[in-house]
Amino acid sequence: MERRRPPQTDEGWYVLHDFRSIDWDAWRSAPERRRSQAIDEGIDYLASAEAVDDADAGESATFSVLGHKADLLVLHLRPTLSDIDTLERRFEHTALAEFTERADSYLSVTEVSGYMSEDYFDEDSEVEDTGLERYIESRLEPEIPDSEFVTFYPMDKRRGPEDNWYDLPFDERAEHLSSHGDIGRDYAGRVTQIISGSIGLDDFEWGVTLFGDDPTDVKELLYEMRFDPSSSRFAEFGRFLSGRRFPPENLGAFLAGETIPQEDEGHGGHGHAHAGGDAEGHHHGDSDGHHHGSDAESGSHGDEGGSDGPHDDDDEDLRSELEDIGVYAGQPHGEDVHAVVLYSAADPDELFEEVDGLRGNFDHYDTHVKTAVYEPREAAKLPRDDERGTREGEGGDGAETAVVSLWDTERAASTAAGFLADLPEIVRQAGDDDSDSWGTMGMFYTVKPDRRGDFVGTFEDVGGVLADMDGHRKTDLLVNREDENDMFIASRWDAREDAMQFFRSDAFSETVEFGRDVLADRPRHVFLA
């Protein structure tokens, strides 16, 4: 008898979908004083839960449920079952609880599986992909997006006499899930999901929670997926419950039957915006993690891309030093910008077509600043030290085409990078290079149209200086294919100090001074390694 190999799993936060029905007869007949108390205590409970005052980490959200199945959904994610248990019992002590009955509930736990990356579960394997680690973290400890619409349903994988998911070989299951994820990627930016496992915890095997601002996006996604074998042959679904998110402070309007505002200061106006979201790309069933590869070492913290954790103090020192020598290392246009930069060897026209499709989805989110394709300007390509030869991942003797995506939040950038990493022929991602080098990007070079020739000429002059500098490997000028006046400069160095020697040089000071005349906006430098 052959026993099929199950995927290994890793679990994160526990998830409780708490569905409540309002006893409307009791509510209407209650004295005003009692109703006011119920509203006040309900708001306090819901607001405290959303602020996660009860635990070290987690997420909560409140929804008005549509239809007869329930009236209210309170969604909780917490690190421990004890946290969930306490939240459940704490609600029962509010005056609001007296007017509710539990219509349904679902208990589960966020998870990732070996379909995403078997190396992640191999103790002898060294997983150095920071983007993958960030993506796994976002799956295990997800944010609840501020999308207006939510739908939840439980599901199983079929175990019938003809179609038995659990009797398929591992590779065949993984292939099904990968194909399923390809459909979800088309909905990046419109639909976000939280997948949680419930085997041994509740009646079904997984819980699926989908978020979007347009309910028809969720409908179209699920309808399209019904025709994929992963669903049509191997999926069984429970009942669907759908709702609209509202801020806790609007509980009174909800109970009064009034129109519930969806955007205000308390709710943030869809401020989290999960960029590409998961777009149901890692479909419920086994948490396959279709975007294996990279969620990206995003150019985060607005200035020092890819400099997290213990190096934060060093980055702040670097930023201060650059400010002292006249290099703008601040926040462009008054905003933090988180940059994701990937390099591709694909045909630029084919790459642009793929990027343009993703960008259309990204534009649904307020956190999306810009996504563009930058092509190398071959005539301006700088020489490189012949003694160094060609380093793997640096594109050989030519510069790759770059995809640059800018976001207001680090999490949005990190999630979007998971989709960008699936673009054709990605050869490397800025910030994920070997540790024996250091990279910088001069960004936001928006050149005045009548001074573009002057800018390129000065770049070539500086190239001569760079070619003779110790520790310099290569520098490329890349141009936005949709706007020839929008450029960035990417450089590779042996070490950070080699780059700083250039920034301290007279040649660089003269270039900065020159830039004030030819650039429409102030540039800044992003450090990637």
Distance in angstroms (rounded) separating the CA atoms of residues 457 and 429: 28
Q: Catalytic residue numbers? A: 153
Q: Is 430 within 8 Å of 306 (Cβ atoms)?
A: yes
Distances (CA, A) of 347 to 352, 420, 423, 424, 481: 9, 16, 11, 9, 13
Q: What is the DSSP string of 11-75?
A: EEEEEEEEEEEE-HHHHHHS-HHHHHHHHHHHHHHHHHHHTTTTSSS-EEEEEEEPSSS-SEEEE
Residues near 432 by beta carbon (within 8 Å), at least 6 away in sequence: 129, 130, 131, 294, 296, 297
Residues 452-464 as b/e (b if ≥16 CB within 10 A, e otherwise) read eeebbebbeebbe
Q: Is the dihedral of CA 359, 478, 444, 299 positive or negative?
A: positive
CB-CB contact of 513 with 428 (8 Å):
no
Three-state SS annotation for 372-440: EEEEECHHHCCCCCHHHCCCCCCCCCCCCEEEEEEECCHHHHHHHHHHHCCCCCEEEECCCCCCCCEEE
Question: Which residues, 6+ apart, have CB-to-CB distance to 386 below 8 Å?
Answer: none
Residue 267: both structure tokens together? 């709710």
User: For residues 287 and 116, what is the distance between their CA atoms, to the nearest angstrom?
Assistant: 7
466: Cα separation from own chain's centroid: 36
